[in-house]
Amino acid sequence: MTDQTSNVTTLAAPDPQATGSSADASSADGLATPTTADTASSTPETGVTAEISRTEAIPDPGATDPALDLFTRGAEFLDKGGIAMWLIAALSVVTLALVFLKLWRLARMGAWGGRNAETAVTLWCRGDHAAAAEAVLRGRGVRDRLVATAFSAVRLHGGATDDARDETTRVARRLLAEVGSGLRALELIATVAPLLGLFGTVLGMIGAFQALQSAGTRTDPSALAGGIWEALLTTAAGMAVAIPASAALTWFESVTDRVRLDMEDLATRVFVRAEAPALARAAE
């Protein structure tokens, strides 16, 4: 019995060599199988990609904003012409503002219209005074306002009297003054801008010859040429402002003349039609 028990114990006890062999095998397996840390460290591409992304996100200190660069160049260009160039630049801004403001005001006054007033006067000449008065009230242009005034004056004074004509003439002058407002400013700019350019050129030439005198025998022709062309910039700038201003002034004056002729024609037709019944009675 004792022998059997010892045999069982001997069979159940682990073999130290076998255990050591298993541990060595496990260690060998652990060396052969890569761990998570080894896997993460064995893929350097992810780190490189992140570094590239961070590099792309950082702005280049040498890069400049195109708008800021354009503004800087413009300021440098104006500085070359001195105070006269800055004044001419201010005049160019004022000219542009005046032109757009004048276009907007003429459009609101109906300077390029007139069909409604023409229709109203045609109805008036046919004898349909009620329809003519209703038609002229649908318009808001300067021609419509003048025709409405002529209709009212004829009705108020009982025909084409001198008082009716004077009232219509008064309103016509006021309307024409509104149409022609702002033209004096454009005329002034067209006259002053070239003079400012010439003034800047004279000042630049004076400065260039003063530098030539100070240099003495060490005169650099390139420096003198550079001072001269910088001085001539103001003349070119003044002409560049004056020419568009003069062209816009001429065009606006032609629009005003057209409105004046249309108003004279419409008012004359209204008064001629109002005088017809009186002339017919006088002929009888």
Q: Which domain holds residue 178?
A: 83-283
Q: Is residue 34 part of a domain?
A: no
- pLDDT 10s digits, 245-259: 999 999 999 999 999
Q: Is residue 115 part of a domain?
A: yes
Contact 194, 239 (CB under 8 A): yes
Q: Is residue 78 part of a domain?
A: no
Q: Which pair of structure tokens corresponds to residue 195?
A: 């003079």
Q: Could you give the CA distance from residue 231 to residue 220 in angstroms, rounded to a whole number? A: 17
Residue by residue, pLDDT tens for the chain (284 residues) are 444 444 433 434 444 444 444 444 344 344 344 444 444 444 444 554 545 445 444 545 445 566 666 657 766 766 676 788 888 999 999 999 999 999 999 999 988 888 889 999 999 988 888 899 888 888 889 999 999 999 999 988 888 788 889 999 999 999 999 999 989 999 999 999 999 999 888 888 887 777 777 766 676 666 666 677 777 888 889 999 999 999 999 999 999 999 999 999 999 999 988 876 554 554 55
- pLDDT 10s digits, 123-137: 998 888 889 988 888
Q: Which residue has the tokens 């160039």?
A: 85
Q: Is residue 47 part of a domain?
A: no
Q: State the SS3 of the chain.
A: CHHHHHHHHHHHCCCHHHHHHHHHHHHHHHHHCCCHHHHHHCCCHHHHHHHHHHHHHCCCCCCCCHHHHHHHHHHHHHHHHCHHHHHHHHHHHHHHHHHHHHHHHHHHHCCCCCHHHHHHHHHHHCCCHHHHHHHHCCCCCHHHHHHHHHHHHHHHHCCCCHHHHHHHHHHHHHHHHHHCCCHHHHHHHHHHHHHHHHHHHHHHHHHHHHHHHHHCCCCCHHHHHHHHHHHHHHHHHHHHHHHHHHHHHHHHHHHHHHHHHHHHHHHHHHHHHHHHHHHHHHHC
Q: For the chain, how many structural domains are there in total?
A: 1
Q: Could you give the CA distance from residue 189 to residue 182 in angstroms, rounded to a whole number? A: 11
Q: Is residue 31 part of a domain?
A: no
Q: Is residue 116 part of a domain?
A: yes
Q: Is residue 157 part of a domain?
A: yes
| C-alpha dihedral, 141 to 147 to 149 to 155, nearest 10° | -150
Question: pTM of the predicted model, to two decimals?
Answer: 0.68
